[in-house]
A and B are shown apart, each in its own frame.
Chain A
Amino acid sequence: MSRPLSIKQAERVSGAFKFIVLLVFGVLLMAPFIWMVSVGFDRTANISMPFPPRLIPEELSGFNYGIVFENGRLIQSYINSAIVTVSSVLLGVSASLLAGYAFSKGRFKGKKLLFILVLCTLMIPMEPRLIPLYKLFNSVDLLNTFWPLILPTVINGMLIFLCKQFFDQLPDTLREAAQIDGAGEFKIFFRVYLPLAGPIAATMVILAFIWSWNDFMWPLVVLNNQELHTVPLYLASFSLENGTSLGGLTMALATVSILPIIILYLFLQRYIIQSIALSGVKGE
């Protein structure tokens, strides 16, 4: 019967226990990253990886990083990825904002049917479209350019869906007031609703950025020219060429390719996590 007395203590013990479990597992999850950074600074790791693994390299050296930057292919692939991603995000987000707004506030024939069609695109994976799209871009001579990576991002069912949900929450009275002032549909969209769409636009940019930056299978199919390789393509070709030799170089390359994204993530983590959670929760 002394239970009520010990509740606070029990809570404190269980809290500490939870904290320790989370910490241990968190370190395990981070271990590959920590090891990656450490091996990248280890010059001897290219001959054979240091074993047993050590946190601080025996001979600390920026040799591997020097080679990664001197080689230039990583920087080129960064530029390529940036061009593709920025264009895709701009195209996908603008088209989805327009469509999402029309599906939310528009009154036109076939609205429901067209929206169902948009939702259906969510169920269509890339694989069955791979060969026809390859042939399509081949027939207009656009293979080995960035166009095949950028143009198809114009349609994104998830972005349209999220955008429609957002505009649904904004009141119709705003447009009615603007209509009385004699504004046309485009003016209402650009002057009244678009300025209010900041939060959802940010979410859409984050999601579109992640999808485009990490895209792999389709770029692999359309880009044979090494000079046009995006970051994931360059990493994959390096990895397949060298296997598990050149450990130090591989890890330095992995670090340089991951780090900017991690830094960006640490700055924007609240918004990124919110965006992912939103696409998940709404997807239900």
Chain B
Amino acid sequence: MKDKAEIENQFPAGTAQNGRLPVKSTKKTSSPLTWYVFLIPSFLGILLFMIYPIFESLRLSFYQSNGTIEHFTGLNNFKTVLTSGPFWNAVGNTFFIGIFQIAITIPLGFIFASLINSTPKGKNFFKVIYFLPNVTSIVAAAMIFAFVLHPEMGIVNYLLDVIGLPTPGWLSDPSTSKWAVILLAVWHWIGFVIIICLANLQAISPEMYEAARIDGASGFQQWLFITVPNMGGTFAFLLITGWIGALQRFNEVYVLGGPNGSPARSIQTMGAFIYERGFTGFEFGIASAATYIMFMIILVFTFINLKLSNMKI
């Protein structure tokens, strides 16, 4: 009987907008609590592993703590972090690596996606090959790149030497080590950019190209005036996900330079700074303050990215 009442209520709700309001009260009584049962696992997870940690972390940032003994210190942790040279160094490293990774990979990935999309032969073959670096874990990739970029015995410097270019010290030199990480990041991320671009390239309606061809537009003109403007949303998406990922960079710099980002802290990112203070020094309060500053930076940039990308579309 209950079920039947619900069906009767659903039909007017679905068909006529006006029918919604008056029916609402009866719908409530007929909608069983079972729907909340469906949500129990996920919301237990949200409560325990999302909401609680976020507030606990905020609380900890006002305390001096090593995990067992705590006492309130007000804003001292924030003061310590914000006046700490290594923290700003880590912020600078994170931004430097992220900006160049994104500025290189998105245009390059888009060009390769366009080439793959229009190549007469081997479309799927190239798609699989170009995405391959992205399936390997970044930890394993970093392990290989320590050798690939070795100043004396690596293949990159060998190739540079063969074509007569100077051979940098890469990870052995603090002035070039960030470029080693950028190179690894580009190599690893480009497959993702290509796949996302390809999926959206194929979504552009062929009629537009048809019309342009009739008007006599060349292949390059079609690319410049139809393809590029239609990819605004895709670029925005890549910019946001890329930037959020870049701000959280940790795995590869940990493998290449340890928690302090050697040589000379030149590749220590914000994530590595937090790991170093929190889990090698067990300064939970200071690390929590740093994570909150990082969290705010991520939120602000996500917001700016969203605004910027909205304007573009």
- A106 with B53: CB separation less than 8 A: no
Contact indicator per residue, chain B 28-53, by CB within 8 Å of chain A (1) or not (0): 10011011101101111110111011
CB-based contact A114/B43 at 8 Å: yes
Q: Is A235 an interface residue (CB 8 A)?
A: yes
* Cross-chain contact of A155 among B45, B120, B144, B198 (Cβ < 8 A): B45
Give a binary string over B121-138; 1 marks a CB under 8 Å from any A CB, 0 the rest: 110001111111101111
A280 to B53, CA, bound (A): 28
Chain A residues with CB under 8 A of B241? 280, 283
Whether A145 sits at the interface, judged by CB under 8 Å, is: no
Encode A118-132 as 1/0 by CB contact (under 8 A) with B.
100101111111111
Given contacts A18-B115, A154-B42, A232-B139, contact A129 B53 (CB under 8 A): yes
Across the two chains, which residue of chain A brings its CB closest to B274?
A127
A183 to B31, CA, bound (A): 14
Q: Judging by beta carbons under 8 Å apart, are B54 and A25 in contact?
A: no
B119 touches A35 (CB 8 A): no
Is B39's CB under 8 angstroms from A99's CB? yes
B135 touches A250 (CB 8 A): no
A217 cross-chain contacts in B, Cβ below 8 A: 250-251, 254, 271, 275
* Docked CA distance A272–B91 (Å): 34
A99 lies within 8 A of B42 (CB):
yes
Residues of chain A lying within 8 A (CB to CB) of residue B133: 29
Closest chain B residue to A121 by CB distance? Answer: B50
Residue of A52, A53, A217 contacting most chain B CB atoms (<10 Å): A217
A272–B10 Cα distance when bound, in Å, is 38
Q: In the complex, which residues of chain B have a beta carbon less than 8 angstroms from the beta carbon of A31? A: 148, 155
Q: Mark A190-205, 1 if CB is under 8 A from B, else 0.
A: 0000000000000000
Cα-based distance from A264 to B28 in the complex (angstroms): 48
Q: Which residues of A contact B219 (CB under 8 A)?
A: 11, 14
List CB contacts (< 8 Å) of A101-142 with chain B. 101-102, 106-109, 114, 117-118, 121, 123-136, 138
- Shortest C-beta distance, B83 to chain A (Å), equals 21
The answer to whether A214 touches B137 (Cβ under 8 A) is yes
Contact present for B130 and A29 (CB under 8 Å): yes
How near does chain B come to A246, taking the closest CB pair, in angstroms? 10
**A277, CB-defined interface residue at 8 Å:** yes
A82 at the B interface (CB under 8 A): no
CB contact between B196 and one of A39, A189, A277 (< 8 Å): that residue:
A277
Contact of B135 among A11, A135, A265, A284 (CB under 8 A): A265
Q: Is B208 an interface residue (CB 8 A)?
A: no
Q: Are A98 and B153 in contact (CB under 8 A)?
A: no
Residue numbers in A under 8 Å from B10 (CB-CB): 172, 176
Distance of A96 from chain B, by nearest CB (Å) = 7
B136 near A261 (CB under 8 angstroms)? Answer: yes
Let me know if B147 is at the binding interface, CB within 8 A.
Answer: yes
The residues in B between 268 and 288 inclusive whose CB is less than 8 angstroms from any CB of A are 270-271, 274-275, 278-279, 284, 287-288
B52 touches A132 (CB 8 A): yes
Residue of A nearest to B13 (CB): A107
Q: Which residues of A contact B274 (CB under 8 A)?
A: 127, 130
Q: Which of A15-72 contact B (CB under 8 A)?
A: 15, 18-19, 21-22, 25-26, 29-33, 35-36, 39, 48-53
Main secondary structure of the interface of B (DSSP, over half): helix
A271 located at the interface, meaning its Cβ lies under 8 Å from any Cβ of chain B in the complex:
no
B299 CB to closest chain A CB, in angstroms? 7
A25→B153 CA distance, assembly (Å): 22
Contacting A125 at CB < 8 Å: which of B36, B67, B248?
B248
B38 touching A281 by the CB < 8 A rule? no
Does B292 touch A at the CB level, under 8 Å? yes
If the complex has contacts A30-B129, A95-B41, A154-B44, are A261 and B135 also in contact, measured as CB distance less than 8 A?
yes
Q: Residue on A with the closest CB to B42? A: A99
Contact residue among A11, A180, A235, A281 (Cβ-Cβ distance under 8 Å from B7): A180
Knowing A29-B129, A254-B143 touch, does A127 contact B284 (C-beta < 8 A)?
A: no
Q: Are A272 and B135 in contact (CB under 8 A)?
A: yes
B57 at the interface (CB under 8 A from A): yes
| Contact bitstring A265-284, B, C-beta under 8 A = 1, else 0 | 11001001100110011011
Q: Which of B42, B57, B132, B139 contacts A128 (CB under 8 A)? A: B57
**Chain A residues near B116 (CB, 8 Å)?**
22
Given known contacts A108-B35, A273-B195, is B53 in contact with A133 (CB within 8 Å)? yes
Pick the 10 closest A-B CB pairs, nearest first. A155-B45, A102-B38, A129-B53, A132-B53, A277-B199, A132-B56, A49-B153, A154-B45, A95-B41, A106-B35
B-contacting residues of A (Cβ < 8 Å)?
11, 14-15, 18-19, 21-22, 25-26, 29-33, 35-36, 39, 48-53, 94-96, 98-99, 101-102, 106-109, 114, 117-118, 121, 123-136, 138, 151-152, 154-155, 160, 172, 176, 179-180, 182, 184-186, 189, 210, 213-214, 216-217, 220-221, 231-232, 235-236, 238-240, 243-244, 247, 250-251, 253-254, 257-258, 261-262, 265-266, 269, 272-273, 276-277, 280-281, 283-284
A-B contact pairs, 9 of them (CB 8 A): A15-B120, A29-B132, A35-B148, A98-B39, A128-B53, A136-B53, A155-B42, A238-B143, A250-B147
